Amino acid sequence: MGPGISHFYSGPVPDRPPVLHSTSLFIRLFTVQVPEASRPFHAKLRSNFYQSEYTNSCSFASTEQTAAPSLVSENLTDSVIDVHLQQLATATANNSLSKSSSSTTSAEEYLGILQVFSDFSACSSDISGELQRLACLPEDSSEIDPENQKTEPEPCLGFLQRENFSTEIIESILPEDLQPTVKICVDSLSSNSVAVKRSAAAKLRLLAKNRSENRALIGESGAVPALLPLLRCADPWTQENAVTALLNLSLLDENKPLIAGAGAVKSLIYVLKTGTEVSKQNAACALLNLAMIDENKVSIGACGAIPPLVSLLINGSNRGKKDALTTLYKLCSMKANKKRAVTAGAVKPLVELVVAAGEAAEEQGAVGMAEKALVVLSSLAAVEEGKTAIVEEGGILALVEVIEDGASVKGKEFSVVTLLQLCEGVNGGRNRGLLVGEGVIPPLVALSQTGTARAKHKAETLLGYLREPRQEGCS
C-alpha cells in the first residue's frame, strides 16, 4: 500500500475490480488525466471510494444508491479536489530540486508578507496559524458530542482535518496546475448547501495562505464577489472561513482594489460587529490591508468601521486589541477619521492601556500594547477634539508617568510628542499649567539629556513652552 493511503482508507484493500458508473465518471471529468499505470494506488482507490461498502467512513456520503444526482455532485466536491491535489502533488514530488527551490521561495514570501503591516504593528493573519481550530478537531469521529452536531456535516471533514497534509500538497503544485481546483472551489461558493460553501471557503483560505501566486490566481478566478455573500452567513464557521480567505487575498496589492471595488468594506464591517473573535480580528486586518490605499481610508471611515474597531479595542483579546490599534492608527492618518475615533470613545481605552502598562511594570506584552496606544493617542492629539478628550480622560498624568518611569524608549518619545501637541492650539495655555501641576519638568529635563534624538528635541521644545508663562508673569 503506497504512502499516504491512511489518509483515505484504513480497511482491507478490495480485491474485486472497481465498477465504473456515473459517480466515478464525474470524478474523472474534474481530475488531471494521468495514465492508469502511473497513478498512485491511493488515488485510484479514492476515485472508486464512493462505489464501495467503505463509503460510510466519510461523514457525508450516503450508502443508498438512489441519492439525488445534484446531492451526489455536491457531496463529491471535496473528493474531486482531494484527488486532483494529490495527483498534481505526486507528479511534482519526484523533482527534488524543484521542491527545494519552492521551499526557498516560500520562506522568502513568508518574510515579505510579515512586512506588509507597518513596523509598529503586531497584528497577524491566517499565515500565523489561524487554522489552529481546524487542526485541533478530534481525529476519531466517535469523540464528537452528537449534541453539538446541529449543522450539516462537512462534505468531507477529513480534508479539513488533514491540514498539514493538504498544505504540503499545495506547496508542491504550480499555480497554473491549481486552476481547475480553484474553479471548483469558486463554483462551490454558490452552492445551495451551507456545508459545501463552508468547505469551499476553507479551501480557498488555505490556498491563499502562503503564496502570492495563488492569491493572484484566486483573485483572477472571480472568488472575491463569490466570497462576499458568505460574510453575512448565519453559520459562524462559514463566515470565519470567508473573511479569512479575503484577508489572505488582500495581502496581495493587486487584489486590494478588486476587493474594495466589489463592495467588501460594508460586509467586513458587518463581520466586525457580529463575527466570532477570530472573525473580528481578521476583518480588522483585512480593513487594515485595504487602508493601505488612501482613498479606501475615507470610505472605510465613512462606512462606520471605527466604532466597531473601538469596541474590539475595549472587549477583544490581546490580539484583537493589537489588530484594532493598528487599523485605527492607519485610518486616523485622515483628519475626518481622527474626529470619528474621538467621537466613538477611543481615547478612554487608549489611556487605560497606557496606565495598565505602567502598573504591569516591564511586562513585555503590556509595554508593546502601550506603545501602540501612545502612537494612536499622538495621532488623535492633532485635532482639538482629541486634545480635549485626552485631558478629560486623565491622559496628562498618564503621559507624564511614562516619561518619568516608563520602560519603553519609544513610549517616552511618543508621550512627549503628545504632550507637546496638547500645549498648542486653543487650550494650549491651560494645558501647560496642568502639565506643570503634574510635575512634568524634572522628567522632561532628564529626557532632554538621555532620550533619543527626537525625544531630546521635543523635550527641549516643550520645556521652552512651559517657561513662557513664568517669564510673562515676572515681567
Q: What is the mean pLDDT of residues 98-112?
A: 45
Query: Which of 57-61, 119-123, 262-266, 441-445 is predicted with the least confidence, judged by mean pLDDT?
Result: 57-61
- Residue carrying C-alpha cell 503591516: 117
Q: What share of the chain is helix, strand, coil (3-state, %, to 5)?
A: 70, 0, 30
Res 472: pLDDT: 41
First and final C-alpha spacing in the chain: 97
Averaged pLDDT score across all residues of the chain: 74
Three-state SS across 175-209?
Answer: HHHHHHHHHHHHHHCCCCCHHHHHHHHHHHHHHCC
Res 110: pLDDT: 37
Say whether pLDDT at 195 is over 70. Answer: yes
Res 443: pLDDT: 95
Res 221: pLDDT: 95
User: What's the pLDDT tens digit per position in 307-318?
Assistant: 999 999 999 999
Q: Give the pLDDT band (50/70/90) at residue 34.
A: very low
Q: Give the pLDDT band (50/70/90) at residue 358.
A: confident
In angstroms, the CA 441 to CA 191 distance is 67
Report yes or no on whether pTM surpasses 0.75.
no
User: What's the pLDDT tens digit per position in 342-357?
Assistant: 999 999 999 999 998 8
